[in-house]
């Protein structure tokens, strides 16, 4: 790494640019004085009073934090976890067979391209309004980036390793865990990063579906209907913070498992994005 690259990745550019943007926002909003664009300081103060001014025994969460923040975190983590598990298992199964992947690829691309709002009537028929329907809407759309990237990663394994495993008569579970999964890990994490952002977006969408009585998406729409713009902005900022924290945790796990290896650029990264 060159000294210039090291400086570009240092703490000053990383935190200085966002702080400068917030400062400019603060100055511009205070100078304009519009109720539609409050200052960041007023948004943070309102968000703190709304969600994080509770007693210490509840981790400083208020009643609104318990009623809206915790259910949203539960939905996005559960939906992302289910999508990740299903995507990795099915992706490894498909990636082991070129014929199976070729047969299933058109179906995968069709299902991936279906917009989640178009499936609301189907989910209403298949599931009762509530948590099951919300999780189904998250998992259905978030699973495809993980599945497709995992299958592509499993197909990229060195054939020589498979020949050696066949000569040694390595059992199938060992081949999957010791050969296919390590080879697919860089692309698995590429799909997981896309799936995580999709899960957060779909969590907000799922909380707009019938049968929802809490969550940040529900609170966002409720505040919008009451013209409570300060709460609207506070929810938007909180969603961004939650997404950044979850993404940082995922990147830390990626560095722990695969270090500096990265997925090679290829069509699977773009094909795994939402249609």
Q: What is the DSSP string of 99-157?
A: HHHHHHHHHHHHHHHS-GGGGHHHHHHHS-TTHHHHHHHHHHHHHHHHHHHHHHHHHTS
At residue 261, the 3 state secondary structure works out as: coil
- Residue 69 is given by DSSP the state I
Indicate the pTM of the whole model.
Answer: 0.83
CA-CA-CA-CA torsion sign (182, 186, 187, 189) = positive
Number of neighbours of residue 67 by Cβ within 10 angstroms = 16
On whether the CB atoms of residues 220 and 235 are closer than 8 A, the answer is: yes
Query: pLDDT tens, position by position, for the chain (275 residues)?
Result: 454 554 555 566 677 888 888 899 899 989 988 888 899 999 999 999 999 998 988 889 999 999 999 999 999 999 999 999 999 999 999 988 888 888 888 888 888 888 877 887 788 788 877 788 888 889 988 999 999 999 988 888 877 877 777 777 888 788 888 888 888 999 999 999 999 999 999 899 888 876 677 899 999 989 998 999 999 999 999 999 999 999 999 999 999 988 755 554 444 444 444 43
Q: How many angstroms separate the CA atoms of 86 and 82, rounded?
A: 6
């Amino acid at each position: 790494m060159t000294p210039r690259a090291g400086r570009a990745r240092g703490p000053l550019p990383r935190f200085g640019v966002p702080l400068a943007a917030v400062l400019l926002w603060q100055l511009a909003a205070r100078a304009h004085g519009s109720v539609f664009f409050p200052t960041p300081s007023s948004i943070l103060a309102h968000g703190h009073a709304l969600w994080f001014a509770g007693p210490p025994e509840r981790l400083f969460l208020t009643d609104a934090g318990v009623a809206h923040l915790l259910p949203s975190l539960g939905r996005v983590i559960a939906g992302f976890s289910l999508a990740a598990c299903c995507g990795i298992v099915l992706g490894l199964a498909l990636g082991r067979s070129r014929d199976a992947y070729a047969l299933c690829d058109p179906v995968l691309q069709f299902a991936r391209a279906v917009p989640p709002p178009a499936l609301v009537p189907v989910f209403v028929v298949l599931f009762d309004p509530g948590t099951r329907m919300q999780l189904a809407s998250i998992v259905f759309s978030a699973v495809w980036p993980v599945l497709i990237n995992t299958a592509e990663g499993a197909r990229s394994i060195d054939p020589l390793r498979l020949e050696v495993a066949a000569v040694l008569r390595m059992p199938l579970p060992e081949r999957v865990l010791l050969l296919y999964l390590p080879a697919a890990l860089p692309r698995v994490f590429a799909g997981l990063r896309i799936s995580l952002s999709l899960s957060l977006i779909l969590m907000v969408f799922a909380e707009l579906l019938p049968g929802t009585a809490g969550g940040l998406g529900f609170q966002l729409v409720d505040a919008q209907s009451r013209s409570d713009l300060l709460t609207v902005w506070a929810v938007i900022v909180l969603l961004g913070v939650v997404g950044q924290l979850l993404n940082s945790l995922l990147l830390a796990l990626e560095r722990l498992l695969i270090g500096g290896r990265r997925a090679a650029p290829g069509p699977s990264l773009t094909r795994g994005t939402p249609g």
